[in-house]
């Protein structure tokens, strides 16, 4: 029995206790005692997992590479994968040829979540400016950012990103004292969940701050290919405009095939940018993470070289946002998200709404407060919201949005 004189519980990392509960177990607990009265199969609008069919080229490339499953993949991936990524970045962001050096500036990832977590181990020192380092996180935020900051021993500093600030952090409002000890800034554009897009001036200001105060600007661009009217600018575009000897200094961009190519199960993404950071990250990853399997790298390279499936995908999302708009315009604070595929609806009380939608319509949505922390004034600005992921087919989304309007309006 634990606690007796000669049997002690194993020592544990005390930082684990500082982690908030992950949003999805919280949702499961919230809905545990509610039985849906609707006579219909449950529909998950809570998870950002695209349900459009994955492109057939994935199965084709995996089948063609069966012998490669017996090989350990190198941490740096293959030249073919890195070239495919450098080519895509160059075309997508109008970069000069040669700006993205595939040898020094690109690293394959097994999906981006683990890497978003692990990068804090590279970028967060013991102390900065003689004090505990800070990691800047937009509020609301993707949970991995907070976990990364906490486990790296940093203070997560949540930057309000509500309607008053255009759903992006107000860069002018970050105190100098915080900037001085900032080690890492996670910026998500298009933002999950609000869909806001940082323009070039915003990204330029963020990168200028990173260089002035000696921290890493990490731009999470995993929703970059899902947009309504205009393609979101990227961190590398701004680095190009700013020029200099090392244009990507202090900058990392993260991209994923999970949303762009409906391939969340493939676990494939990459990060690119500052060669020193990439090199340090590769060094850490050699010790800590599995390389991306060679057949997956080959399929991923084919996906990054293809735009047809991405265009088709984007059109499907537009049709769904049209359907959502038809059902919800003028209600629950609906607005067309400029990027990404989430609705961020102001329903008054997100937990109440999640329980009602589950009870009356078997719809699972995520209370906004599970993606936010209280701001400095003590107010949790996610409390009145729900996040709705438009990941199913258009007809299903249209019907679900009509039910949401009916039940919550
Ligand atoms: C903002 C954001 N970043 C990163 C990820 C991680 O995606 P993946 O690990 O599938 O690349 C997600 C997934 O939902 C996300 O919403």
Q: Candidates 3.90.1150.10, 3.30.750.24, 1.20.1260.10, 2.40.30.70; correct CATH number of 21-53+309-408?
A: 3.90.1150.10
- The domain ranges of the chain are 21-53+309-408, 70-305
- Give residue 114's pLDDT: 95
Closest listed residue to residue 307, CA positions, set 260, 237, 255, 258: 260
The closest-lying atom of ligand 1 relative to the alpha carbon of residue 191 is: 1
SS3 label, residue 172: helix
Which residues of the chain fall short of a pLDDT of 70?
1-4
What distance in Å separates the CA atoms of residue 385 and residue 39, rounded to the nearest whole number?
26
CB of 236 closer than 6 angstroms to any ligand 1 atom? no
Kindly state the helix (H) or strand (E) to which residue 68 belongs, with its residue range: none
Q: Kindly state if the Cβ of 189 falls inside 6 Å of ligand 1.
A: no
Q: Do domains 21-53+309-408 and 70-305 have the same CATH topology?
A: no
User: Can you give the pLDDT at residue 227?
Assistant: 98
φ, ψ of residue 332 to 5 degrees: the values are 50, 30
User: What ligand 1 atom has the least distance to the C-alpha of 256?
Assistant: 11
Please give the CATH number for the structural domain made up of 70-305.
3.40.640.10
Ligand 1 site, residue 297, Cβ cutoff 6 A: no
Compute, in angstroms, the gap from residue 113 CA to the centroid of ligand 1.
Answer: 6
Query: Among the atoms of ligand 1, which is closest to the Cα of residue 259?
Result: 10
Give, in order, the Cα–Cα distances in Å from 84 to each of 65, 77, 107, 207, 284.
18, 12, 12, 26, 24
Q: Is the CB of 50 under 6 A from ligand 1?
A: no
pLDDT tens for 188-206 read 999 999 999 999 999 999 9
Q: Which atom of ligand 1 is nearest to the CA of 264?
A: 10
Q: Is 222 in the pocket of ligand 1 (CB under 6 A)?
A: yes
> How far lies 126's CA from each of 54, 135, 182, 190, 288, in Å?
43, 13, 12, 31, 20
* Angle, helix 294-304 to helix 57-64, in steps of 10 degrees: 140
Q: Is 23 in the pocket of ligand 1 (CB under 6 A)?
A: no
Residue 258 beta carbon below 6 angstroms from any ligand 1 atom: yes
Give me the pLDDT at residue 5, please: 74
108 lines ligand 1 (CB under 6 A): no
Residues 48 and 264: their CA atoms lie apart, in Å, by 9
Would the CB of 46 count as within 6 Å of ligand 1? no
Name the nearest CA neighbour of 312 among 60, 47, 51, 55.
55
Structure confidence at residue 94 (pLDDT): 98
Find all residues with CB under 8 Å of 305, minimum gap 6, and list them.
84, 87, 88
Residue 387 Cβ inside 6 Å of ligand 1? The answer reads no
Calculate how far, in angstroms, residue 222's C-alpha sits from the geometric centre of ligand 1: 6
Closest CA to 300 of 259, 343, 327, 268: 268
Question: From CA 293, how far away is CA 73, in angstroms rounded?
Answer: 5
User: Ligand 1 pocket, 48 CB below 6 A?
Assistant: yes
Atom of ligand 1 nearest to the CA of 188: 1
Distance 364 CA to ligand 1 centre (A): 19
Q: Which pLDDT does position 55 carry in this prediction? A: 97
> Cα of 112 to ligand 1 centre, how many Å?
6
Contact 192 CB / ligand 1 (< 6 Å): yes
Answer yes or no: pTM beyond 0.95. Answer: yes
């Amino acid at each position: 029995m634990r606690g007796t004189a000669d049997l002690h519980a194993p020592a544990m990392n005390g930082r684990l206790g500082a982690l908030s509960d992950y949003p999805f177990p919280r949702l499961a607990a919230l809905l545990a005692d509610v039985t849906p009265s609707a006579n219909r199969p449950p529909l998950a609008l809570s998870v950002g997992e695209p349900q459009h069919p994955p492109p057939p080229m994935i199965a084709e490339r995996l089948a063609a590479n069966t012998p490669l499953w017996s090989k350990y993949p190198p941490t740096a991936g293959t030249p073919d994968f890195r070239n495919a990524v450098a080519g895509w970045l160059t075309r997508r962001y109008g970069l000069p040829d040669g700006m993205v050096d595939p040898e020094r500036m690109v690293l394959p990832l097994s999906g981006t979540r683990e890497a978003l977590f692990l990068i804090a181990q590279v970028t967060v020192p013991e102390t900065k400016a003689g004090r505990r380092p800070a990691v800047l996180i937009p509020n609301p935020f993707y949970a991995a950012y907070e976990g990364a900051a906490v486990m790296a021993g940093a203070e997560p500093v949540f930057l309000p990103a509500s309607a008053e600030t255009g759903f992006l952090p107000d860069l002018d409002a970050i105190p100098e004292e915080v900037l001085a000890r900032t080690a890492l800034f996670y910026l998500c554009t298009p933002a999950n969940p609000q869909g806001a897009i940082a323009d070039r001036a915003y990204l330029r200001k963020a990168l200028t701050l990173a260089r002035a105060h000696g921290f890493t600007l990490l731009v999470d661009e995993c929703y970059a290919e899902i947009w309504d009217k205009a393609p979101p600018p990227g961190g590398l575009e701004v680095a190009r405009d700013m020029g200099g000897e090392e244009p990507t200094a202090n900058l990392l961009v993260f991209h994923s095939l999970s949303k762009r190519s409906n391939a969340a199960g493939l676990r494939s993404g990459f990060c690119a940018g500052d060669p020193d950071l990439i090199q340090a990250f590769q060094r850490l990853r050699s010790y800590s993470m599995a390389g991306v399997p060679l057949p997956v790298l080959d399929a991923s390279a084919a996906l990054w070289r293809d735009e047809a499936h991405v265009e088709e995908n984007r059109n499907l999302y537009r049709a769904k946002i049209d359907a959502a708009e038809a059902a919800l315009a003028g209600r629950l604070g609906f607005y067309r998200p400029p990027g990404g595929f989430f609705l961020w609806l102001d329903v008054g009380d997100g937990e109440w709404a999640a329980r009602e939608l589950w009870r009356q319509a078997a719809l699972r949505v995520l209370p906004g407060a599970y993606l936010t922390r209280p701001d400095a004034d003590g107010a949790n600005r996610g409390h009145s919201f729900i996040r709705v992921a438009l990941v199913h087919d258009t007809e299903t989304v249209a019907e679900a949005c009509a039910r949401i309007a009916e039940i919550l309006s």
